[in-house]
Structure 1
Amino acid sequence: MKTLGTASAAPGEMDTGRLQVGETRDGGEFGLPVAVINGVEDGPTLYVQAVSDGDELNGLGVLQRVVPQIPPEDLSGTILVVGIVNYHAFQVAEHRNPIDDTKMNRTYPGDESGTSSERIAAATFGAASRADLILDLHQGSTSRMLNEVRVRCGKRHRLHDDCLELAKVFGCGHVLDQKGPDGQLARAGPDEGIPTIDPELGGCVGWDEESIRYGVKGVFNVLEYYGFLDGDVTLDSQIRATGFDRYGSPAGGLVRFRKDLGEVVDAGEVLFEVTDPFGQLKAEVTADDGGIFWRSRRLPQVATGEYVCSVGTGIDEF
């Protein structure tokens, strides 16, 4: 029998339930939606979570499609799933947990006696620590972004190559290989000896079907490559970036992009222009370095200094 919270599944079964993590402001208990898929054969354990940031829903769209498609009778091993991590932010469609104004993915491995976010992180990290592999499904918030996978442990980490392999197996086509901030699950997992990646499935308001399809394919790639399910996975070469150049607007007005997501950028090329409301050019911003046009704001209006776009730098293929 495999359990997670109130979900309990015998071999060859799947069950859903709740992982209790505290009480709401009216004193009522609340729990995170969880699922356990227990294969008929022994094997490794995969942990998957989504909605660590309350407005990043593509990962939930992936789970909504993946979980019903996994046949427990054909599975070797166990899959542990937390469908919505940032419970409070999800309820109000916000990025950060409104109870403590915290970005959840800066609180791992958490604290059972800490803030709201730290308690949720501790509960979900307890589940993740039971796994052999961890997938933490994200998206680029509500901005526009490539489908990519992030390896956040840093190149000197003993599990870097294992995390990079997991990223290649997931197979979005683009990888950011850059050490992440403290408190990220993709940092904390490898420190516990568990290869962990952070797929960033595009960026949108609500969810985006193309990015969800990338995520569904990525999860099944992992299940087949690591022996949870039968199947062959071809590892395609990935475009890797090791950093970002971020660009803000030198003037207020309306942004007009000259590059689109995924396009190659040469140093000195125009990335975007800023015009007044009548189309008169106010400013032009060029790339400092070559790379890939990786991310951009969604709304055209900007104030002076406001974020506009990012170019992935240090590009190679692996």
Structure 2
Amino acid sequence: MTSVGSADASPGTVDTGRLEVGETRDGSSFGLPVAVIEGAEDGKTLYIQAASDGDELNGVGVVQRVVPQIDPEELAGTIIVVGIVNYHAYQVAEHRNPIDDTKMNRAYPGDETGTSSERIAAATYDVARRADLVLDLHQGSTSRMIDEVRVRCGRRHRLHSECLELAKTFGCGYVLDQKGPDGQLARVAPSDGIPAVDPELGGAVGWDESSIETGVRGVFNVLYGYGFLDGDPEIEAQTRAKAFDQYGSPVGGLVTFDPDLGDRVTADETLFEVTDVFGNLKARVTADHDGVFWRSRRLPQVASGEYVCSVGKNVDSY
């Protein structure tokens, strides 16, 4: 039997419940929604979490669709899911935890006596560290972005190859292989010997069907690829970037992009133009290096110096 909070699943069953992590401002307790799928056969443990950033809903959409599709009688091993991590931010559709103004994915491994975010991080990491593999589902928030998987442990880390293989098995098509900031789950877990990645499922405000479906396929690729379910993952060659060039606007105005997301660009190729409201050209910005057009702002209006887009560079396939 596997227990997480109030969810208890014996072999061949599914249970849902709550993982209590603290109290709200009126003194009432609150918990995170959890699911445990205990396979009929022994095997590895997969931990999945979503919405550690409260406005990144595509991961919640993945969880909503994946959990009902898994038959525990056909499963070898255990799947543990925390469907919403950043409880307070999710309630108000904000990115950061409004209780302590913290980005949750900078708070791992957490502190059970610390701030609100540190306590939630500690409670969820206590669950995650029981797993053999970790998927931390994210998205690009308000930016437009390709579906990708991020390997955050760093290329010199002893578990780098295992994390890179997990990213490839998830199979979004694009991988960012760049060491992440302190406090990210996908950086902390490998230091405890657990391969972990964070799929960034597109960029949208709210709910993007295409990226959710990509995430569902990715989770099932992992379930097939690591022996949780019988079957073969749909794995193709992945395009990997090892760093980003980020571009801001030199002037204020309206942005028009030349490439589409996922397009290859070459050094000195036009990335975007900025015009005034009457269509008069004010600036043209070109790429510094060859790469892949990876991410761009959603709305066209910009101020001088404001972020516009990113190009993945040092690109290869594996």
Normalised TM-score (structure 1) = 0.99
How far residue 234 of structure 1 moved from its aligned partner, in angstroms, is: 4.4
How far residue 233 of structure 1 moved from its aligned partner, in angstroms, is: 2.2
Residue by residue, what CA displacement relative to the aligned partner does 1:212-239 show, whole Å, maximum 9, x if unpaired? 1110000001011111111012431100
Unpaired stretches in structure 1, ≥5 consecutive residues: none
Aligned partner of 2:168 in structure 1 is: 168
How far residue 142 of structure 1 moved from its aligned partner, in angstroms, is: 1.4
Partners of 1:262 and 1:65 in 2: CA distance: 26
Residue by residue, what CA displacement relative to the aligned partner does 1:43-74 show, whole Å, maximum 9, x if unpaired? 11000000010110000000000000000111
The reply to whether residue 109 of structure 1 matches residue 109 of structure 2 is yes
Partners of 2:34 and 2:43 in 1: CA distance: 20
Partners of 1:47 and 1:232 in 2: CA distance: 20
Residue by residue, what CA displacement relative to the aligned partner does 1:251-273 show, whole Å, maximum 9, x if unpaired? 11111111110001110011011
The reply to whether residue 206 of structure 1 matches residue 206 of structure 2 is yes
Q: What SS does structure 1 have at the residue aligned with 2:223? A: helix
Decide which moves more: 226-235 or 89-98.
226-235
Partners of 1:142 and 1:280 in 2: CA distance: 27
Aligned partner of 1:197 in structure 2 is: 197
Partners of 2:208 and 2:246 in 1: CA distance: 24
Is the CA contact 2:171–2:234 (under 8 Å) kept in the aligned structure 1?
no
Residue by residue, what CA displacement relative to the aligned partner does 1:160-214 show, whole Å, maximum 9, x if unpaired? 0000000000000000000000100000110010000000000101111110111
Q: What SS does structure 1 have at the residue aligned with 2:310? A: strand
Partners of 1:264 and 1:231 in 2: CA distance: 33
How far residue 278 of structure 1 moved from its aligned partner, in angstroms, is: 0.9
Aligned partner of 2:119 in structure 1 is: 119
The reply to whether residue 301 of structure 1 matches residue 301 of structure 2 is yes
Aligned partner of 2:147 in structure 1 is: 147
| Identical amino acids, percent of aligned pairs | 75
Aligned partner of 2:63 in structure 1 is: 63
Aligned partner of 1:314 in structure 2 is: 314
Residue by residue, what CA displacement relative to the aligned partner does 1:145-174 show, whole Å, maximum 9, x if unpaired? 000000000011000000000000000000
Unpaired stretches in structure 2, ≥5 consecutive residues: none
Partners of 2:144 and 2:235 in 1: CA distance: 26
Aligned partner of 1:32 in structure 2 is: 32
Aligned partner of 1:96 in structure 2 is: 96
Partners of 1:226 and 1:287 in 2: CA distance: 39
Partners of 2:55 and 2:77 in 1: CA distance: 31
Aligned partner of 1:79 in structure 2 is: 79
Aligned partner of 2:41 in structure 1 is: 41
Decide which moves more: 50-59 or 231-240.
231-240
Partners of 2:234 and 2:147 in 1: CA distance: 19
Partners of 2:84 and 2:268 in 1: CA distance: 43
Is the CA contact 2:220–2:233 (under 8 Å) kept in the aligned structure 1?
no
Residue by residue, what CA displacement relative to the aligned partner does 1:14-66 show, whole Å, maximum 9, x if unpaired? 01100000001111111000000001111110000000101100000000000
Counterpart AA for 1:316: D
Aligned residue pairs total 318
Partners of 1:23 and 1:315 in 2: CA distance: 46
Is the CA contact 2:150–2:175 (under 8 Å) kept in the aligned structure 1?
yes
Q: What SS does structure 1 have at the residue aligned with 2:305? A: coil
Q: Counterparts of 1:120-139 in structure 2 under 5 Å? A: 120-139=120-139
Partners of 1:281 and 1:25 in 2: CA distance: 52
Partners of 2:142 and 2:6 in 1: CA distance: 33
